[in-house]
Amino acid sequence: MSTTQTARTLGRSGIEVSALGFGCWAIGGEWHDSSGKPLGWGPVDDAESTRAIHRALDLGVTFFDTADVYGAGHSERVLGKAIAGRRDQVVLASKWGSVFDEAAKTAADEPGLTPEYARAALTATLRRLGTDYLDLYQLHVNYAPLAEAAALRDLCEDFVREGLIRAYGWSTDDPERARLFAEGPHCASVQVNCNVLQDAPEMLALCDELDLAAVNRGPLAMGLLTGKYTDAAVTDKGDIRAVPPPWLAFFENGRVVPEWQARFEAVRDILTSAGRTPAQGALAWLWARNPHTVPIPGIRTVTQAEQNAGALQFGPLTAPQMAEIETLLDRTA
């Protein structure tokens, strides 16, 4: 039997997506928080981003995940232009909740959590993407208050009825919040941080229980799991890893934290089994981890699109390999 991994279903929505997604954070280019610290991944070449999107599509990647705040609107604009004329070939996801100044490329400190803001944000997202509907719309505020989130969930049901979106979800690592959104009949997913070094057992169990897709952000641990930062430093001042915020645990002062590097090295041989690259092995771990996972690695170049899509041909890791990784990372207790 072939191990090729090709498609998964986006939770209980019935929407079929490629098992691999295309994360569009990095193609947004440079943007900053209110203090001037970087929130992007450095300079970007829009023409190369477009070529990468087209190459990914040609290789069978159909799921594209962006957010209005990525590049302060720039990611959505680039993606929208790239898929013009091919909208029927993609499953298009975006996120809202961050307030930002598109001209200044700056994100505000406080989120926008009112229904009025959500509707205005959706209208702007559809305009930038050049489409009249989204397949998946996600709240982008990890720990938004429950009462406000409940109102936004109900608003998303209105958006479904109006034909503006097909399904919705929440980008959160909190099971209680994910469960709240899942009370809505058209909630299809939770976007959760999960990778071979940072498992998310509670969230994945919730996805099993409620039939939600686990859209995996951070599947390559912010680049650590590509293996290319072993000795190299991230020196571009516009790259979030150069001046990482507290939640970005893998990097410090532009370099991989030695403890995380050691954990990666402990499992590198398994990840690179059968001729995989480390990144392909990290994606294979996610596919083997749970049937609801849909990893969305960031892609900026044609080469990255080809390498990530190449993981589809290898398929998931085996059960013995998964067990060995748990032992090596001391997660068997």
Q: What pLDDT, in 10s, does the model give residues 262-311? A: 999 999 999 999 999 999 999 999 999 999 999 999 999 999 999 999 99
- What mean pLDDT comes out for the span 198-212? 98
Confidence tier at 229 by pLDDT (50, 70, 90): confident
Residue range(s) defining the domain that contains residue 118: 7-328
Residue from 227, 178, 220, 171 nearest 198 by CA: 220
Q: Is residue 130 part of a domain?
A: yes
pLDDT reported for residue 117: 98
**Which pair of structure tokens corresponds to residue 64?**
């594209």
Confidence tier at 2 by pLDDT (50, 70, 90): very low
Q: Is residue 2 part of a domain?
A: no
70 part of the active site = yes
Residue from 39, 100, 71 nearest 248 by CA: 39
pLDDT tens track for 33-43: 999 999 999 99
Residue from 319, 328, 264, 247 nearest 287 by CA: 319
Residue from 112, 6, 18 nearest 69 by CA: 112
Number of domains observed in the structure of the chain: 1
Question: pTM of this prediction?
Answer: 0.96
CATH code of the domain covering residue 131: 3.20.20.100
Confidence tier at 333 by pLDDT (50, 70, 90): low
Q: What percent of the chain has pLDDT over 70?
A: 98
**Average pLDDT score over the chain:** 95
pLDDT reported for residue 1: 31
- What mean pLDDT comes out for the span 191-212? 98
- What mean pLDDT comes out for the span 249-262? 92
pLDDT tens track for 90-111: 999 999 999 999 999 999 999 9
Q: Is residue 1 part of a domain?
A: no
Q: Is residue 13 part of a domain?
A: yes
Strand partners, 293: 214
Say which of 70, 137, 168, 229 is annotated catalytic.
70
What span, in angstroms and rounded, lies between the C-alpha atoms of 183 and 271?
37
Cβ atoms of residues 257 and 56 within 8 Å = no
Cβ atoms of residues 53 and 82 within 8 Å = yes
